[in-house]
Chain A
Amino acid sequence: MVQLRDIAHSRTGDKGNISNVSVIAYRAEDWPILVRQVTAERVRDHFGTMVRGEVLRYELPQIGALNFVMHDALGGGVTRSLALDPHGKCLSSLLLTLTIEPIHT
C-alpha cells in the first residue's frame, strides 16, 4: 500500500460553501489507478463529518486529473465559517493521505 501522495498531487479551491479538490497523477500510467480507487464515495468517507453535502467527481483523462466537488463542505463558506482554515485550503493535503494499492490491472 502507498499513500495517494506518492502518485498524485492536489490543490483545493473554494466557492461559497463548496470546496473542490483536484487529484492529478504525476505519471500518465497511474491515471487508471486514480480512476478505479479514488472514487467519490471514498473521498466522502475520508472527510467524514466535514463534508455534509454530495461529492461529485469529474474526469479529465487528457491531463490525468480528477476533480472532486464537495457540497456543504466549508462550514457556511469562507465569509462566515468559524474554522481556522475557512477556505478549506488544507483539504488537499489531507486527501493525499488516502491509501492506494499500487496495482495496475
Chain B
Amino acid sequence: MKTIRIGTGAGFSGDRIEPAVELAKHGEIDYLIFECLAERTIALAQQAKMRDPQAGFDPLLERRMRAVLSVCRDKGIRIISNMGAANPVGAAKRTVEIARELGLTGLRVAAVQGDDVLDILSPDTFHIDEENCALRDFNKQVVSANAYLGAGGIVDALVAGADVILTGRAADPSMFLAPQIFEFGWEMDDWTRLGRGTLVGHLLECGGQITGGYFADPGIKDVPDLARLGFPIAEITENGNAVITKLGGTGGCVTAATCKEQLLYEVHDPKRYIQPDVIADFSGVEITEIGPDRVAIAGGNGFQKTGSLKVSVGYVDSCVGEGQISYAGPGAVARGRLALDILHQRMELAGICCQEIRGELIGVNSVFPQAEPADDAPGEVRLRFVVRTDDLATAARIGEEVESLYLNGPAGGGGVTKSTREIVAIVSGLLPEGHLKTHFEMMEA
C-alpha cells in the first residue's frame, strides 16, 4: 500500500526553526508544512499591507525559507504554508527571489488566493454570529474579512507542479489534507477519507504539541529534552490511517497521551469537527502505541461538508491601557489590594471613561479571579490594572494613574511598567462557498 510522510515545520508563527531543518534533512518526508496563522494574525497583516502593499505576509518567511529551501529542493520535499497571510502573492515573489539567491533555478512557487472576501461580503445577507446582526448593522470599522479555504486550491497547485505553495487564510487541517488528496487520488466527496485526512492534519497542525510540547508536568508527566523538541511526522496510508512519530535523537516523546491531548485541542463536538472540506468525526478514533515514539491513529470518519465557509472579520474594537507595579515582603497582598482600591476610585475621581476594568494581583488571582491567597500568601505580588477605553489618549492615562502610586499609593511599590494598544478583534460568520473562487498564481525562480 502506498504511504506518504508529512512533517510539520511550524505550529505557529513564532515557532522554532531548527526542528523544520532537521525534518527536511533527516525525516525522509515528502511534504513539509508550516502552519503560521492565528485567528487575528491576518487582520493585523491586512493593516500592514494597507501601509505597505509589499508587506502583509509572515515576517519570518524569509528566515524559514532560507533555512529549508535548498535541502527541500535536493530531496524533492514540497512545502505548503499559510505564511502568505494577507499577501500570498507578495510572499511567493519574495520566496522566488530567495530561491534565485540560493541558486535554485526553476523552483516553482504558487500563491493560492481567494480567501480575501472583504469586497464581496454582502452588507445585508452576511450575518455576524457573535453580534447576531447583519454586517450593515455592525457599527465598527471593519479592516479585513478572510474565508477559511479548503484543500482544493492547494491540490490544484500541486497538480500544476508547485514545489512551494503559499496560502492566506486556509483551514489549518486543509493544508495537510491537500497532499493526501493529491497523492492518493481521493475524491472530494469521499467523506470518510477526507475525515481521516483532516484528523491527521488536526493532529499535526500544532507541531510540537503532539511530540511532548505543552505536555510536561514534572513528576507526573515528564518529557525528555524539551530544548531540542522534535516536530511530528505522519506516515499515512491510502486508506487514511496513520502513524504519528518523530525523528530519532530529537527531544520530546510521542505517546498515546500526547496524541489524546492534541486530538481534543480546540475541538468542540468531536462528532462534528466542521471544516471547509468535510465534517470530520473524531468520536471513534483509536489511539494505540505500537513502538517507542510511534502511535497508530485509526477510526477517523467524516460526513458531507456544510457547503459554507467560516469568515473571520477583523475590526477596530477599542483601545486598552495598562499599568503594573510590584509589592513585596510582609503585607504585600494587603498593600496590593489597597493600591487596587485606590485605582478604582481614581477612575471615577479623575473622570476617566472606562468601557471595562480589570484589576488583579499576579501571584494571587490574575488567572482565577475568585482565588483567595493561602495562609502562606506570596512574598511578592504584581498589581496589574487594565482598562478598555474609547481612544489611545484615554488609555495612556491608566499607566499614568498606576505610576502615580509611587508617590501617592501604599508603601514600597516598585517597578512600574505601562503600555497602551489598539485592539483589532475578530468576529465571524458563514459564507456559501460558491460565493468565492479559489485560484493560484504560479511563479518560477
Q: Does B369 contact A (CB under 8 A)?
A: yes
B260→A78 contact, CB < 8 A: no
Those of B269-288 within 8 Å (CB) of chain A: 269-271, 282-287
Q: Contact size class for B?
A: 35 or more
Set of chain B residues within 8 Å of A48, measured between Cβ atoms: 370
Judge if A18 is at the interface, Cβ distance under 8 Å. yes
Task: Give the distance to chain A from B203, nearest Cβ to Cβ, in Å.
Answer: 13
Which 9 A-B residue pairs are closest in the complex by CB-CB distance?
A: A13-B266, A22-B264, A80-B425, A79-B425, A11-B261, A82-B358, A13-B265, A79-B40, A90-B367
* B295 CB to nearest A CB, Å: 12
29 contacts between A and B (CB under 8 A): A5-B220, A9-B217, A9-B257, A13-B267, A16-B39, A16-B130, A20-B267, A22-B264, A48-B370, A50-B368, A60-B270, A60-B285, A62-B286, A62-B299, A63-B287, A65-B260, A67-B267, A77-B425, A79-B39, A79-B424, A79-B426, A80-B318, A80-B425, A82-B320, A83-B367, A84-B360, A84-B366, A90-B367, A94-B367
Min C-beta distance of A96 to chain B, whole Å: 9
What are the interface flags for A1-45 relative to B under an 8 Å C-beta threshold, 1 for contact and 0 otherwise?
A: 000010001110111111010101010000000000000000000
Q: Compute how far the CA of A16 lies from the CA of B271 in the bound complex, rounded to whole angstroms.
A: 20
Give complex CA distance A56, B386 in Å.
31
Partner of A67, one of B256, B270, B423: B270
In chain B, residues 337-395, which have Cβ atoms closer than 8 Å to a Cβ of chain A? 356, 358, 360, 362, 366-370, 384, 386-388
| Distance, CA A24 to CA B384, complexed state (A) | 34
Note all chain A residues with C-beta closer than 8 A to B299. Answer: 62
CB-defined contacts of A62 to chain B, threshold 8 Å:
284-286, 299
Residue of A nearest to B322 (CB): A82
- Please give me the residue from chain B that is nearest to A21 by CB atom: B264
Instruction: Verify A49–B428 contact, CB threshold 8 A.
Output: no
CA distance A69 to B40 in the complex (A): 21
Return chain A residues, CB-CB under 8 Å to B293: none
Q: Is the CB of B423 within 8 A of A79?
A: yes
Q: Please give the residue numbers on chain A whose beta carbons come within 8 Å of chain B beta carbons, in ascending order.
A: 5, 9-11, 13-18, 20, 22, 24, 26, 48-50, 56, 58, 60, 62-65, 67, 69, 76-80, 82-85, 90, 94
- Per-residue 0/1 for B222-254: is the Cβ within 8 Å of any A Cβ (1 yes, 0 no)? 000000000000000000000000000000000
Q: Is B435 an interface residue (CB 8 A)?
A: no
Contacts known (A11-B214, A90-B367); A58 close to B257, Cβ less than 8 A: no
Q: Are A15 and B40 in contact (CB under 8 A)?
A: no
CA distance A75 to B140 in the complex (A): 19
* Closest-CB distance, A105 to chain B (whole angstroms): 25
Complex alpha-carbon distance, A69 and B3, angstroms? 35
Q: A50-B369, A79-B424, A84-B366 are in contact. Are A67 and B40 (CB under 8 A)?
A: no
In the complex the two chains form, is A16's CB within 8 Å of B426's CB? yes
A84 adjacent to B367 (CB under 8 Å): yes
Taking the closest CB of chain A, its distance from the CB of B179, in whole angstroms, is 25
Is B40 in contact with A78, judged by CB distance below 8 angstroms?
Answer: yes
Q: Which of B269, B367, B387 gathers most chain A CB within 10 Å?
A: B367
B317 on the A face (CB < 8 A)? yes
Output the least CB separation between A6 and chain B (Å).
Answer: 8
Determine the chain B residues whose CB is within 8 A of the CB of A80 once the complex forms. Answer: 317-318, 423, 425
Known: A58-B269, A67-B264. A77 touches B426 (CB 8 A): yes
Q: Beyond the given A11-B261, A77-B425, could you list 12 further A-B residue pairs with CB under 8 A, ordered by the A residue number?
A: A13-B265, A20-B267, A50-B370, A60-B285, A63-B285, A63-B287, A76-B425, A79-B425, A79-B426, A80-B317, A84-B362, A84-B384
- B268 interfacial contact with A, CB 8 Å: yes
- Interface pair B366/A9, CB less than 8 Å apart: no
Question: Is A49 in contact with B266, judged by CB distance below 8 angstroms?
Answer: no
A45–chain B nearest beta-carbon distance, Å: 11
B263 at the interface (CB under 8 A from A): yes
Find chain B residues with CB under 8 A from A18 CB.
268
